[in-house]
Structure 1
């Protein structure tokens, strides 16, 4: 018998996945990341974000990026993608974005004990390798990217891959629940979040109705089941407990 039961895993997965999401969001939204983008030729930080994150998809139309990302207003994606691609192309943008991720990790995960960094990277690698990339193009793209050789830089790059994995699964789950991107955003974050993601015409009192909220909650639960199933394949119950504790430590370091 392991240290964690199936029920323990189901209860812990949402917290673990949220911490991974929050670490990735902290990197993407950090002014230092925007500054690195500017140094790399991207005057518009959103152009660096869209082209950098989506560059693993290759030389595609903006509509493909919108389909893979899911939550953004389509015109906003097109404007930022086309501006970013003009700098150095899609694949080079991804490489530059990946390097900025590594640099952020070196700065913000440096407080972790070296043994913890190595162990969390090892466990994260096993989860990433166990996940099926079918229908998850951004995740699969980042999983295939070259990483730093080790240390906090590589760990942060693996955290980014894990974040893309859950985000892609959640997009699949909300689509399967019959929700379009704007409905999902309104149900999860309301009008302010929708406007941040480019939906400029959303009214202050816009809200998802009860049926939409219920379907979004069902999609959230489905996403947790999907990630939990992979955790269960990749790690023993004891290893998942260890992984959850190390993710918590990484979050404490990165989000301080």
Structure 2
């Protein structure tokens, strides 16, 4: 297949990937998702998040989950993972989490017309199938999960897989740049973000090292190059342009 031009990808990939990230984050952080987790047996929404999202890894030690998630404080991961998997095991937690994702999509992507839903599902499916899962366990795990038959629910599950894909690539890129998890978090979001991810001892005036900020920016650029390469193999230039437009529409429907 033909490749989108470098200029097209340079301009579009960061925006496309950011929209996918934001839609995925919206469903994960939605209080409705927490309520559904509670209905499914998870009193603690963070336990539902860790066991649900990480459940595709199987019955593993929390240290494995910490490695796959990347930027969370290890002690927080262990506490939430152990609490979550105690409810119904890891694989069942993933299935319940996937169903919550599908239901969120039914509700928040309903504004897209059927043709747009089907086309974006098709194009994103090609991207997911083309991507190499080497070194990306969460992406590979979610790609292997069963999905619903179609419609906005399946599209949302596909968006979740795309989000895991880019997040895993970015984790590889930050690691390759020599950044420790906390360094990455401080460089990207500061102390408030660090505390949200479980690093409770971070002071209000904690600042990222300038060299860490520069390396994090390099990692961001590397991640964009990695996703762009897959887009170029999976889609023709015109298909990529169509994909980018449809992602924008999905973002507007889900986040608007």
Cα contact 1:2–1:238 (8 A) shared by 2: no
The 10-residue stretch of structure 1 (203-212 or 19-28) with the greater mean CA deviation from structure 2: 203-212
- Alignment of structure 1 residues 1-256 onto 2, 5 Å: 5-256=5-256
Q: Note the alpha carbon deviations across 1:44-76, whole angstroms, 9 max, x for none.
A: 000000000000000000000000000100000
Q: Give 3-state SS (helix, strand or coil) of 1:242's partner.
A: helix
1:207 and 1:71 mapped to 2: Cα distance? 17
1:138 and 1:2 mapped to 2: Cα distance? 29
The 10-residue stretch of structure 1 (4-13 or 133-142) with the greater mean CA deviation from structure 2: 4-13
Q: Which runs of 5+ in 2 are unaligned?
A: none
Normalised TM-score (structure 1): 0.99
Cα contact 2:2–2:235 (8 A) shared by 1: no
Give the RMSD, CA atoms, in angstroms.
1.2
Q: Give 3-state SS (helix, strand or coil) of 1:112's partner.
A: coil
Normalised TM-score (structure 2): 0.99
2:176 and 2:2 mapped to 1: Cα distance? 34
1:157 and 1:164 mapped to 2: Cα distance? 11
Cα contact 2:2–2:233 (8 A) shared by 1: no
1:162 and 1:15 mapped to 2: Cα distance? 14
Q: Which runs of 4+ in 1 moved over 4 A?
A: 1-4
Cα contact 1:3–1:238 (8 A) shared by 2: no
2:159 and 2:113 mapped to 1: Cα distance? 17
Corresponding residue pairs, total: 256
Q: Give 3-state SS (helix, strand or coil) of 2:84's partner.
A: helix
Q: Give 3-state SS (helix, strand or coil) of 1:240's partner.
A: helix
Q: Which runs of 5+ in 1 are unaligned?
A: none
1:104 and 1:249 mapped to 2: Cα distance? 16
